[in-house]
Amino acid sequence: MLKRINVGAEVFNELVESNSFYIDKTIFIKNIFEDNTSKVILITRPRRFGKTLTMSTFHDFLALDPENPGDTSRQEILFKETEIFTNEKDFCSRYMGKFPVVFITLKEAFGNDFEGAYDQLGCIVFRMYNAFSYLAESPKLNPAEKSIFRRIADDDEYIRNVANKNKIKDSLSNLLMFLNKHHGIKPILLIDEYDVPIAKAVRNNYYEEMIDIISPFLSSALKTNPHLGRAVLTGCLRAAKESIFTGLNNLLVCSLLDTGNNAISAGIGFTKEETETALAYYGLEAYQEEVSRNYDGYHFGTKHMYCPWDIMSFCYGNAQKLAEENAEITADNYWTNTNGNDVIEEFMGYIDPNDVDTMQSLLDGNAIITEVRPALCYGDLPKHDIRDFWTLLLNTGYLTFDPQYRSKTKNEYRLYIPNEEIRDCFKTKIMEFFETNPTILSQANLMIKALTEGDAEAVEDNLNKLLSRYVSIRDFAANAPKENYYHGFMNGLLVTGASLIEEQKSNFESDNWYIDLIIKPKINKRLAIILELKQTPDENKDKFLIAQDAVEQIGSRKYAREYIERADIREVLSYGICFCKKECTVVGKRLK
């Protein structure tokens, strides 16, 4: 009987105990804890690549049993069939079940405001202390230390109260000290998704308040701490200037771009060989090419990597189909609704028109050459520097890099969208931006209302407000002319205001011509609106004359003839719109 497929599994012992399929990555434990000497290691990878499962595996292997120190029977059951247990007996004897381990994840430490985020962080600290409740009675701790421990462990409302935020700042370093004193062994610290609180704080405008808490919370535990054995952190980015790592001399950063250690590069995610193993186990090896086209393309260092979430989701969705007659094996998009990053939406309104062609080139399947900022600071993100945008897309999995590319310019890389699934996600995220952004919705509705009223001046005013901030969506046709950029922009706006529109046609064929846009509003079903869009890159050209020519084109090519002749259409309005970068001019004319 085949092993279960536990898509997105994040707890190693549950994966083993449920008899679920597992690609053996246990040798990575030795790579991290013995084969390098760095006291603190930061591993940055996109989400859904298995960072949390990796950290859970570390914990289950290393953590001692406080009630029975030296008893490794639990580990022997969990790891008995793994590579590390079979081939690394000496390492296992020295590391397996030998350390107090503090393992926390900060992926839930966020909120819509600082108070909400702080409350979540307080809950994490409360649970962290309660995982070591035996310390409250430790004979190795003095009364003052036990009092500090009990104050947090016994009262979650205490540590979740913002008034006591200074207690959170020292809570992690204090816990490490308590564990070291109790066991006589320096504990190991595992922090998963350490940067989520900072990223969410930037997104929700409480960055300074969060940094004031999270920086001392982490740095006091990591820097020159005599009670810390080793620490491993995971996240999407290295937060360079947030002062978390300032002064931390013994820090090893293992980012996507690092090429010096293949063992570490391959430790999180599936290699090509591991992907082939998973497909073969479920009888899907014949679909390797389809899997590669949709899910392949990532590089970590010089290693070629696949996203485990995608591969196991593909197996889960298709393994049973093999027994069904005429069942279709499909490579679906599994990634689009799982990624928690808001990077595209955050930047879409601020992409300079000069960078629009770069965005189009990526969507067309081409590569771009650009500077990447390895030491990106979250606090700089509100400046919307385009280099930060490409860096975020790389680190969050929307882009990958070419490890063979060599540049004489420091930190310059060749980037591209890794596969068809991510290209589809890229497009979807852009279109969803139009559909969900409340500012766009409000402005789009005002524009549609002005179109129905024949108010060209109001149409122009509302369009210019939108263009000034959201000139970042373009039509996705490969090698599209500039008009298609604005055609896609207008289509997106009209889709956003769909509640006001009865009928919308784009590139509608009329005789030997194609009409850019035709609209019939719900508020007046006897009204037809025809739009002709033009574009000029030259800011010195008279946009009014170009827009006026567009209106005349509607008449000369008889775009409106059908609606003028129809008895059920009482009114026909036409608009010519000339776009130039972040501005437009609108000319209107009543035809019926």
What are the tokens at 311? 């591969």
* Residue predicted with more confidence, 458 or 260: 458
- Report the pLDDT averaged over residues 383-388: 82
The sign one gets for the Cα dihedral 111, 116, 117, 119 is: negative
pLDDT of residue 262: 85
Judged by DSSP in three states, 126 sits in helix
> Would you say 107 and 120 are in contact if contact means Cβ atoms under 8 Å apart?
no
Amino acid at 187: P
Distance separating alpha carbons of residues 271 and 306, to the nearest angstrom: 6
Least confident of 49-53, 234-238, 397-401: 234-238
> Would you say 156 and 126 are in contact if contact means Cβ atoms under 8 Å apart?
yes
- Report the pLDDT averaged over residues 369-375: 88
* Residue predicted with more confidence, 393 or 479: 393
pLDDT of residue 348: 61
Q: Are strands 251-254 and 270-271 parallel, antiparallel or unpaired?
A: unpaired
Judged by DSSP in three states, 416 sits in strand
Residue 586 has pLDDT above 90, yes or no: yes
Of 114-123, 258-267, 342-351, highest mean pLDDT: 114-123
Residue 244 has pLDDT above 70, yes or no: yes
Mean pLDDT of all residues belonging to the chain: 87
Domains of the chain: 25-254 (no CATH), 265-323 (no CATH), 343-430 (1.10.10), 437-590 (no CATH)
Residue 205 has pLDDT above 60, yes or no: yes
Among left, alpha and beta (phi > 0; psi -120 to 50; other), residue 50 is left
Confidence category of residue 381, pLDDT binned at 50, 70, 90: confident
Confidence category of residue 539, pLDDT binned at 50, 70, 90: confident
Tokens 């081409």 correspond to 366
Which tens digits make up the pLDDT trace of 278-314?
Answer: 999 999 999 999 999 999 989 999 899 999 999 999 9
Nearest of 512, 459, 521 to residue 490 by alpha carbon: 459
Which tens digits make up the pLDDT trace of 473-489?
Answer: 443 334 445 566 677 77
Output the DSSP codes for 16-65: HHTTB-----THHHHHHHTS---SEEEEE--TTSSHHHHHHHHHHHHB--
pLDDT of residue 283: 95
Confidence category of residue 458, pLDDT binned at 50, 70, 90: very high
pLDDT of residue 444: 80
**Residue 235 β-bridge partners:** 44
Distance separating alpha carbons of residues 143 and 362, to the nearest angstrom: 62
- Report the pLDDT averaged over residues 446-461: 90
- Report the pLDDT averaged over residues 372-395: 83
- Report the pLDDT averaged over residues 414-443: 78
The separation between CA 308 and the C-alpha centre of its own chain, rounded to angstroms, equals 16
- Report the pLDDT averaged over residues 183-207: 92
Length of the chain equals 592
Judged by DSSP in three states, 251 sits in strand
Sheet holding 501-510, edge to edge: 501-510, 513-521, 527-535, 571-580, 583-590
pLDDT of residue 479: 45
Residue 227 has pLDDT above 90, yes or no: yes
Output the DSSP codes for 427-475: HHHHHHHHHH-HHHHHHHHHHHHHHHTT-HHHHHHHHHHHHHHHTT---
pLDDT of residue 152: 94
Which tens digits make up the pLDDT trace of 38-92?
Answer: 999 999 999 889 999 999 999 999 999 998 988 999 999 999 999 999 999 999 9
Predicted TM-score (pTM) of this structure: 0.77
pLDDT of residue 327: 85
> Would you say 357 and 367 are in contact if contact means Cβ atoms under 8 Å apart?
no
Distance separating alpha carbons of residues 253 and 391, to the nearest angstrom: 16
Distance separating alpha carbons of residues 575 and 586, to the nearest angstrom: 7
Of 87-91, 426-430, 547-551, highest mean pLDDT: 87-91
**Residue 531 β-bridge partners:** 517, 575
The DSSP 8-state label assigned to residue 231 in this structure reads E
Which tens digits make up the pLDDT trace of 503-532?
Answer: 888 766 656 567 888 888 887 888 999 999
Rg (CA), the chain: 29
